[in-house]
Amino acid sequence: MNTFKNILSIIVVSTMVIACNSGGTKNGDFLPPVKIEIPTELADNEDAVALIENSEKALNEFSNNIETLIVDNEDIWNKKSEDLSIMEQITLAKSLGVFAVNSTEIAAVMEKLSDLEDTELFKNLNDEQLKAFESVRVVLENRINEINAKYKGLIE
């Protein structure tokens, strides 16, 4: 029983180390980083600027993470799950774990953006400033559309 616990501990620690240290496969074909321009209506609002800058950083990391996930497992995506070998299943599970760990920042940003109406930041913005914040959503939506178009047909 102790041997099993030791092996399990080694696997858990190894997976966490790999997940935390893995910056993903850098591929020259990845989409270029996006730049979210700070609208002039919001340039004087430190909280809004910080949120936009965090959104930009998180979006670029997410984009690289999803492309790494796709590229690193390209040979697996077109197979049916029942046709995957045990090694392919383990590889895919590891990649999905790394993706999940590396995508926590975008999840936090998305949560902030979805709850904006209830925050002090948005309660203090006028209509023009609120409309300016739409740029963050547009850039995010455009990047997701670019990823979908780039990898269309790979994952069905």
Tens digits of residue pLDDT in 66-88: 888 888 888 888 788 888 888 98
Collect all residues with Cβ–Cβ distance below 8 Å to 14 and sequence separation of at least 6. Answer: none
- Four-point Cα dihedral 113, 119, 124, 129, nearest 10: 10
Query: pLDDT: is 23 or 61 the higher one?
Result: 61
Is the pLDDT at 64 greater than 70? The verdict is yes
Q: Is residue 155 part of a domain?
A: no
Query: How many domains are contained in the chain?
Result: 1
List the one residue out of 137, 115, 122 whose CA is nearest residue 52.
137
pTM of the entire structure? 0.69
| Whole-number Å distance between alpha carbons of 21 and 94 | 13
pLDDT of residue 102: 82
| Whole-number Å distance between alpha carbons of 38 and 26 | 28
Collect all residues with Cβ–Cβ distance below 8 Å to 77 and sequence separation of at least 6. Answer: 70, 154, 155
Collect all residues with Cβ–Cβ distance below 8 Å to 17 and sequence separation of at least 6. Answer: none
Over residues 129-142, the mean pLDDT reads 79
pLDDT of residue 33: 93
Domain containing residue 78: 2-150
